[in-house]
Structure 1
Amino acid sequence: MGEEHAVNSPPFVVTDGKTVEECQELIRRSLKNPVVKFLKEHLEKAGCAFGDNFIKAVRCDNSSGGNFARGVGIRVCSNHMRTQDDVNQIVIHELIHAYDECRAANMNWKNCAHHACSEIRAGHLSGDCHFKRELLRGFMKIKGHEQDCVRRRVMKSVIANPHCSEAAAKDAMEAVWDVCYNDTQPFDRAP
Structure 2
Amino acid sequence: MSSDVEEPERKPRGISTEDCQRMVDRAISRDPVVKFLLEKLNEAGCTAGEHFIRIESCPQAVVGGLRIPDGVVVCSNHVSAQEEVNHTLTHELIHAYDHCRAADLDWRNCEHHACSEVRAASLSGDCHFKQELFRGNFGIRGQHQSCVRRRAELSVSMNPHCKLPGMARRAVDRAFERCFADTAPFDRIP
TM range (shorter): over 0.9
Give the TM-score of the pair, scaled to structure 1.
Answer: 0.94
What's the secondary structure of 2:60's corresponding residue?
coil
Identical counterparts, % of pairs: 48
**1:127-161 deviation digits (Å, cap 9, x = unpaired):** 11100011111111122111111111111110100
What is the match of residue 30 of structure 1? 27
What is the match of residue 47 of structure 1? 45
What is the match of residue 108 of structure 1? 106
What's the secondary structure of 2:171's corresponding residue?
helix
Write out the 4+ residue segments of structure 1 that deviate beyond 4 Å after TM superposition.
none
**CA distance in 2 between partners of 1:106 and 1:157 (Å):** 20
What's the secondary structure of 1:142's corresponding residue?
coil
| Structure 2 residue 5 is the aligned partner of structure 1 residue 10 | yes
Residue 166 of structure 1, CA deviation: 3.6
When residues 182 and 22 of structure 1 are mapped into structure 2, their CA distance, relative to the original with a 3 A threshold, is: same
What is the match of residue 138 of structure 1? 136
What is the match of residue 186 of structure 2? 187
Contact residue 14 and residue 81 of structure 1 kept, 8 A: no
**1:44-65 deviation digits (Å, cap 9, x = unpaired):** 0100011111111111111101
Contact residue 12 and residue 80 of structure 2 kept, 8 A: no
Give the TM-score of the pair, scaled to structure 2.
Answer: 0.95
Contact residue 41 and residue 47 of structure 2 kept, 8 A: yes
What is the match of residue 170 of structure 1? 169
**CA distance in 1 between partners of 2:27 and 2:131 (Å):** 18
- Across the two proteins, how many residue pairs are aligned to each other? 186
Contact residue 14 and residue 82 of structure 1 kept, 8 A: no
What is the match of residue 96 of structure 1? 94
Q: Partner amino acid for 1:28?
A: D
**CA distance in 1 between partners of 2:146 and 2:27 (Å):** 27
When the two chains are superposed, the root-mean-square deviation of aligned CA atoms in Å is 1.0
Structure 1, unpaired ranges of 5+: 1-5
Residue 14 of structure 1, CA deviation: 3.5
What's the secondary structure of 1:90's corresponding residue?
helix
| Structure 2 residue 17 is the aligned partner of structure 1 residue 20 | yes
Residue 89 of structure 1, CA deviation: 0.4
What is the match of residue 85 of structure 1? 83
**CA distance in 2 between partners of 1:88 and 1:68 (Å):** 15
What's the secondary structure of 2:54's corresponding residue?
strand
Structure 2, unpaired ranges of 5+: none
Quick check: 162-171 or 18-27, which moved more?
162-171
Q: Partner amino acid for 1:22?
A: D
